[in-house]
Structure 1
Amino acid sequence: MNAVQEESILDVQSIKKYFPIKKGFLQKTIGYVKAVDDVKFHIRPGETFGLVGESGCGKTTLGRCILRAIEPSSGSVLFRDRQGNLRDVLKMDTKDLRAIRRDMQLIFQDPYSSLNPRMTVLSIIAEPLVCHGLLSGDQLKDRVKELMELVGLNSRHLERYPHAFSGGQRQRIGIARALATEPKFIVCDEAVSALDVSVQAQIINLLQDLQERLDLSYLFISHDLGVIQHISNRVGVMYVGQMVETASSKDLFASPKHPYTEALLSAKPIPDPRRKSNRIILSGDVANPANPPTGCYFHPRCPYAADVCRKDAPVMKQVGDGHYAACHFAGELKLRGAGSLSC
């Protein structure tokens, strides 16, 4: 076991998810969509790892592969169980996977479609406890009341249905459901993107408070750079299924080392009407994951691309303390951070 694994609650190694492209009467496979392509990262206990990138870059697919909600094509997901052992989630049988899922939960993006409209709040929050056979009867009801109060809901509303709640309240119900089995790790899949800005702030503050009180670790998936910067300890940037840069939130926003990250940061809104944004507009289109370009996937749009970028795929290399970038010229380019992309 290496040093990274010793300090990690989650260690993702070379995860790939290729969706087959089928054609013809016999549905012959003629290619693959490389939704997640050889991604590696780790998360420490009590840490929030932010995952950011354009829509369609593979963030949600990666999160679901980690939870094994969909089966990855290859790779490994090492998760630390309650006994302190790192175990590969992808090699578990049905019984072991069911047990480990008590510790790995998911908060969905849409608080409207993620709650069954035919179930009461009591039934929704109690469902994980019932499925795992943890509680029943009065103990079950008391636990649901405790969870509702934990996320800031009135426990007298147990028998109400989801339609009686606002979007922010519904997301609190989803958070209570995720916390029911006392997990150690939660994937927050765009958990605040469907909410109003003021409600987003309330939910983010709630998640941070719960993390501190319950010693939770988060994989926080979002396309909102402001949210990612606020909530994350470390950040990973994805482009066309690949991780192109990882660093602490402070380092990544102040001094990006990959040209795509620089362009992404330039799109971050500036909360000051007196300052003008110096937006970087990339040429061309996002690469097709079913037919990506040779070499670096970003080179057709990169203003710094050279011949080596068109021929050879870059490898992730260390360019600072805990800072890694998959760029041939990482550490050599003078890229602008979020604070310098305005005037």
Structure 2
Amino acid sequence: MKRFVATVFVIGAVFLFSAPHGALAQTSSLAPFYIHLNPNYPQPYSSVVLTLSGNAISINNSTFSVLVNGKKVGTSTGRQPVSFETGASGKSMYVVVRTNFNGKVYTRTVTLHPASVALVVEPLSTAPMWYPGTPTIPSFGKVRLVAIPNMQINGKPLSPSTLSYVWKIGNETLQASGVGKDSAVINAPLPYRENSVSVTVQDPKNTQTAQRALTLVSGTPVVHIYENNPLTGTDYGHALSSNFGATIGSSESTFVAVPYGFSLTGATPIVTWFLNGAKVQTGPMLTVRPKGAGGGSATISALVEKDSAYESEKAQIPLQFGSHTGGFGLFGL
């Protein structure tokens, strides 16, 4: 079974701080106040909410103003927030906060360099070639994660191969982490469970950090039956349903069972065909041919199973064939 790797993009962001080890932490015990940004990793051209907390001064009894690249973007009192917009990716933003308390002015500065990182999710599950949809995450399979960072210095992008990547499931760091390791293959979550995954990307000097997290939820595999035309091939745009099925004439017709969302790990899914409840054959395709005269109906079903995992799904459709004028039968070939 061919597979189609779907991509799902999720965008994160990164900031470069002027203070050692990240200005948001602001660990100096002598700092008169701390600057807090929400979210911690804003995207380019996104809104940031800035608030203060006091250390040597009382924030509740102070006023402060915020300047971005020399332009005042807001003033506030106490713990009331000030909002401003981030700039383009890689453009430096110099944020200056000036606080007035008891007639004295205190100043702190943070330098921001917005950047983005995309996290691509590739479920390693079955789907037909050129499938335009998104394959589901297989419950007993694997998922490939790919990080695509966009970090710049002086307008020049940093090579992804020079960056370090820390992959985590929950709080557990994966062995797939390391310099240049921008992808990781992980186990998919079990049914009715979910996995929280994250990637943290840093440049060689540890001055820029990008982080993104998301939640993976596994899906339920399904099986669809299609009619295969000898001239035009399989019509993947028209799955046969259990309500309507298919009508065939006096010549033979071929049907194909396509599993969606089964794990690509281990053995290939096995398709077993049944005609009116009786096992006919195994394989992805079933050819049926009317015999005798008259018309009638039958039911064909396809059971898809994997020996290496607890994956099993079934689909069935009704068939109408011939004219309803006499005894008739149906052969599964």
Quickly name the TM-score band, shorter chain normalised: under 0.3
> Relative CO higher for 1 or 2, CA cutoff 8 Å, sep ≥ 6?
1
Structure whose residues are more often strand by fraction? 2
- Rg (Cα) greater in structure: 2
Structure whose residues are more often helix by fraction? 1
